[in-house]
A and B are shown apart, each in its own frame.
Chain A
Amino acid sequence: MMFDPQVIIEKLPEIGSGLFVTLWLWIAGVLGGVIAGFIVATARRFGGKIVNVVLGAIVEVLRGTPFLIQIFLLYYGGPFVGLMLDPIPCGLIGLTVYSAAYYSEVFRAGYASVPVGHVEAAACLGMTRFQTISRIQVPEMALIVLPPAINLAVILLKESAVLSIITVPELTATVSAIGSQQYAFLEAIFILAIVYWIIVELTDRLGRMAENRLSRLRFSKA
């Protein structure tokens, strides 16, 4: 079998639309996961013992089972409990919930990284909990949370390939379909790897830029 890039070039528009689906699902999943994860971590920290235990157990289940199985259960098991979802909404919900579990752990570590004394100083000055979270804890944890948050985003991009299983027309599904139609499996897999890798590289760059910016903003001389 010869390596024939021509097959792939002809199908670029299709690949483009698959890439588009992957990108928006991924970005929405990460953003939703960051927001929901932050809310979960905050609720676990301040919501009392019961909230902490219940949310902790849910997070453990989500982190302890493969994403593939979760998405299968949601898509094929959902109808048994009256939850009928189209592939794309199902994929979006699945990805968001899964990433929220991981992001909640990132933020939990973030909260733990802020010295208790910094929070006590705020309390002594009469700041409310919301003021303390938004003005002290979040800005202080930002620099510590950013690298694992970017790393997690990269992992989630690759996990999103799993959504091809439930027929979401994203990048992996599109390209492997082209591969089987054209009998060009090697070319298809190769182009897939390249595209994912490029996005990962770009994400890493962006993350590092944000880190530099943040640390310069922070501790440099005013």
Chain B
Amino acid sequence: MSVPAIAIRKLVKRFGESTVLQDIELEIPEGKVSCLIGPSGSGKSTLLRCLAFLEEPTSGMITINGEALGFFEDANGRRERLPANQIRAVRTKTGMVFQQFNLWPHMTALGNVSEALKLVRKVPKAEAEERAMVQLRKVGLENRAGHYPSQLSGGQQQRVAIARALALEPKIMLFDEPTSALDPELTGEVLNVMRDLASEGMTMVVVTHEIGFAASVGQQISFLDHGRLLFSGPPAEIFAKPRHPRLEQFLDTYLDRGASMLA
């Protein structure tokens, strides 16, 4: 059996007294699109941020392509923090896309995409920019390379952010509600880029409220509620016959808002 792209074991995350994630167990197979859905405050974004090591798990372990992320935990639950350079190396195997884009405003689109190549991979400037252009072309923005983020629309900014996350050629892409800050007209262009990535066989973990996208592109749907992973399975199973009462209730609210047309 092959090693899963991401394996999450007994993951717990607490902020002070409150437990945000409780005993999460999940495997994300290579080359699959895995969507995390659930109501606000269910912990789905925190889970994704743990995968990017933007949040440090309280206990449990995450492996990326079999390599421990941040901490190594043995069978007895003893934990050891890994050295900083090892953490950085594992982090570059994943690319992160944020809800708020988080482009650097003082750099052009090309600068944003080529920066990590120059700094982290020590690629010479000309070659870094050439490789950055390849990524910008992929998201359809090669003619916006010289533009600053403030000169781009929200959808274009998010596509630049995707190109930036792709620059180091990660094996896995993480998306944290990538279309939530966009108006409906601009959502489509970002989802299309994500569809293209999925069809190329990129492993993707997507936190999303776009139930339509999850149903059509997702190959594994995980439903979180109050910090627990209530259900995980293929979309047909989850949307066609939601057996869990909480999931049924959650999906009903989407159907109420007109998403029934998608079904």
Interface residues of A (CB under 8 A from B): 115, 117-118, 120-121, 123-128, 131, 135-136, 139-140, 218-222
Contact = CB atoms under 8 A, between A and B. Distances in A.
A126 B148 contact: no
Contacts of B96: 120-121, 124
Contacts of A126: 88-89, 91-92, 116, 120, 168
A140 B149 CA distance: 13
B208 to A, nearest CB: 18
Of B102, B103, B150, most buried by chain A (CB within 10 Å of CB) is B102
B64 to A, nearest CB: 13
Contacts of B88: 126, 128
A124 B165 contact: yes
Interface in B101-135: 102-106, 108, 115-116, 119-120
A118 B104 contact: yes
A127 B104 contact: no
Given A117-B98, A121-B96, A124-B165, A140 B119 contact: no
B92 A115 contact: no
A118 B149 CA distance: 13
Given A117-B100, A117-B102, A125 B150 contact: no
Contacts of B168: 125-126
A174 B105 CA distance: 49
B148 A219 contact: yes
Given A124-B54, A125-B92, A126-B91, A118 B102 contact: yes
A187 B54 CA distance: 64
Interface of B: 52-54, 88-89, 91-92, 94-96, 98, 100, 102-106, 108, 115-116, 119-120, 146-148, 150-151, 161, 164-165, 167-168
B65 to A, nearest CB: 15
Nearest to A129: B84
Contacts of A127: 116, 119-120
A126 B120 CA distance: 6
A121 B108 contact: no
A221 B151 CA distance: 8
Chain A binding surface, main DSSP class: helix
Contacts of A135: 115, 119
Of A125, A135, A219, most buried by chain B (CB within 10 Å of CB) is A125
A136 B52 contact: no
Contacts of A218: 105-106, 148
Nearest to A132: B119
A120 B146 contact: no
B132 to A, nearest CB: 12
Contacts of B150: 219
Given A115-B100, A136-B104, 11 more contacts: A117-B98, A118-B102, A120-B96, A120-B98, A121-B103, A121-B104, A123-B53, A123-B91, A125-B116, A125-B168, A140-B105
A139 B115 CA distance: 14
Nearest to B145: A222
23 contacts: A115-B100, A118-B102, A120-B54, A121-B102, A121-B103, A121-B164, A123-B54, A124-B52, A124-B165, A125-B91, A125-B165, A126-B88, A126-B89, A126-B120, A126-B168, A135-B119, A139-B106, A140-B105, A140-B106, A218-B105, A219-B105, A221-B151, A222-B108
A126 B87 CA distance: 8
Nearest to B85: A128
A140 B146 contact: no
Contacts of B92: 125-126
3 tightest A-B contacts by CB? A117-B102, A125-B116, A222-B146
B108 A125 contact: no
A220 B120 CA distance: 27
Contacts of A128: 88
A218 B149 CA distance: 11
A135 B147 CA distance: 18
A139 B168 CA distance: 23
A125 B89 CA distance: 9
A49 to B, nearest CB: 16
B116 A115 contact: no
B149 to A, nearest CB: 9
Nearest to B54: A120
B148 A120 contact: no
Contacts of B94: 124
